[in-house]
Amino acid sequence: MRRSEVNRIMAEAEAFIAGFGFVLPPFARWTPEEFRARRAAAGAIVDARLGWDITDYGQGDFAHTGLFLFTLRNGRLDDLRRGGGMCYAEKLLISRAGQVAPMHRHRVKAEDIINRGGATLCVELFASGRDGGPDAAAAGEVRCDGLLRRFAPGEVIRLAAGESVTLMPGDWHAFWAEGGDVLIGEVSTVNDDLTDNVFRDPVGRFARIEEDVAPRRLLVSDYDRWLG
Q: What is the rounded distance in angstroms from the CA atom of residue 200 to the CA atom of residue 51? A: 26
Q: Supply the DSSP symbol for 200.
A: S
pTM: 0.96
Q: What is the rounded distance in angstroms from the CA atom of residue 211 to the CA atom of residue 196? A: 28
CATH of domain 3-227: 2.60.120.10
Residues 6+ apart with CB under 8 A from 160: 115, 120
114, 95, 98, 101: which is closest to 193 by C-alpha? Answer: 101
pLDDT (tens, 9 = 90+) of the chain, 228 residues, equals 999 999 999 999 999 999 999 999 999 999 999 999 999 999 999 999 999 999 999 999 999 999 999 999 999 999 999 999 999 999 999 999 999 999 999 999 999 999 999 999 999 999 999 999 999 999 999 999 999 999 999 999 999 999 999 999 999 999 999 999 999 999 999 999 999 999 999 999 999 999 999 999 999 999 999 998
Q: Show the CA angle centred on residue 218, arms to residues 13 and 99, nearest 5°.
A: 40
Which H/E stretch holds residue 94?
A: strand 88-95
Q: What is the rounded distance in angstroms from the CA atom of residue 193 to the CA atom of residue 95? A: 18
Q: What are phi and psi of 114, to 5 degrees?
A: -125, 130
What's residue 228's pLDDT?
A: 80
In angstroms, the first-to-last Cα distance of the chain is 22
Which H/E stretch holds residue 11?
A: helix 3-18
Domain range annotation of the chain: 3-227
With the C-alpha atoms ordered 61, 222, 34, 89, is the resulting torsion angle positive or negative?
A: positive
